[in-house]
Amino acid sequence: MSLGRVYAISEKEARYILRDPRSLAVTTLLPLVLLVLFGYAINFDVREISLAVFDPDSTPVSRDLVQALTRTEYFRLVRMLPDVNDAEHALASGQAKAVVVIPTGFGADLAAGRTVSVQSLINGSDSLTASIALGYLEGMLQDWSLRYMKTQLPRDSVQIPITPKVRIWFNEDLSSVLFITPGLIVVILIMLAALLTSQTIVRERERGTMEGLIVSPITAREILLGKLLPYVVIALADVVLVAAAGRLLFDVPLRGNPIILLALLLIYLLSALGLGLLISSIARSQQVAYLMALIGTLLPTILLTGFIFPVSSMPDALRAAVQLHPATHFMIIARSMSLKGASFGVVLPRALALLSITIGVIALTVSRFRKTL
């Protein structure tokens, strides 16, 4: 392999990139735009859930319970129901997503030390919001009841054998943004890297410049390596921009070793760029190559690699298949090192799997590419 010929191919590809500054600007700005759009749009934190309450007695105790539910950012009181039968209409009309029904004699029963059931009605048509709202209500009702027993009832009339003390590590506020953003960077990088290189070889065929490469002494490996290097530089620049934007806009931490993460990121980028070259060697037009790269990276990475849906909940066959996707492993690496500060030993199995996939993709690309029209 001649480094001089590789450099010549890289210089030719770089000149083509620089000759079209608008495409270069789009390539540079697109990751930032996608990060901002997806980062603010994809948010699993549910706030301001509309709540209706039926409180027939309206005693100080029941009013304190209602205030405990609505003084936080999770629930917003929209209506006090005059009749319990109005609960169905409030949920069906969309006026409220949750209804709390406080029974008659609520304060008197609590003062007497009797067990009281508070009913929670949830609109289940939106299953995600419903499950989160139900969890909020159960936790807040339990917290209020424990506080009431400690402060309002005689100490010898109640026994609280266990007082739970919960501490959340790595994502103390349970912010979905901190969970989504590292995975979002993984999605953007594989999509962008594959799109960049998916046009390189097929473009040579469409423009009729492949004949010059075929009759030259340049080998197929030198062509692939030469075309790969400029896009490695562009992809690394995009990494810096996206990582800086994630830190500034969403305050995403980096608790792991940045050198190790950068090295693993380079391996991940090589697999994505190699996948784009493989698509470019198969496709017969730039439009087809673009669609193959977009569909082949964006949808599988979002749906199948643990970005949103956990891999552990998928069927066994699909769970085994997604282990061949490089984003499946780098998704875990990125989240573990950014949020948990995982050491290299912890992510080593995923790193080895990622390296094996990268070698396989590049080997398949080299074997598939031929200096033919």
pLDDT at 79: 92
Which residue blocks in 152-285 are alpha helix, DSSP H? 176-197, 200-207, 210-215, 220-250, 258-282
Residues 6+ apart with CB under 8 A from 247: 254
Q: Judge whether 222 and 325 are in contact, CB under 8 Å.
A: no
Whole-prediction pTM: 0.77
Q: What's the CA gap between 48 and 312, in Å, rounded?
A: 31
Q: What's residue 226's pLDDT?
A: 84
Amino acid 47 reads R
pLDDT for position 1: 67
Q: Under a CB-based contact definition with an 8 Å cutoff, are residues 279 and 296 in contact? A: yes
More reliable by pLDDT, 24 or 68: 68
Residues of the chain with CATH 3.40.1710.10: 49-157
pLDDT at 206: 77
Residue 174 vs residue 300, higher pLDDT: 300
User: Burial of 65 by CB count in 10 Å (0-12 exposed, 13-18 middle, 19+ buried)?
Assistant: buried
pLDDT at residue 196 greater than cutoff 60: yes
Q: pLDDT tens for residues 149-161?
A: 777 655 555 554 4
Q: How do residues 309-347 score in pLDDT, each as one tens digit?
A: 888 888 989 999 999 999 999 999 999 998 888 899 999
- CA 157 – CA 138 distance, rounded (Å): 24
Tell me the pLDDT tens digit for each residue of 160-178: 444 556 667 777 777 778 8
Question: Do 98 and 120 form a contact (C-beta atoms < 8 A)?
Answer: yes
Give the model's pLDDT for residue 55: 93
The answer, yes or no, to whether residue 51 has pLDDT greater than 70, is: yes
- Residue 321: helix, strand or coil by DSSP? helix
Return the higher-pLDDT residue of 352 and 246: 352
Element (H, E) at 49: strand 49-54
CATH tag, 49-157: 3.40.1710.10
pLDDT in tens, 213-239: 666 777 877 888 888 888 888 888 888
Position 161 scores a pLDDT of 46
Instruction: Give residue 355's pLDDT band: very low, low, confident or very high (50, 70, 90).
Output: very high
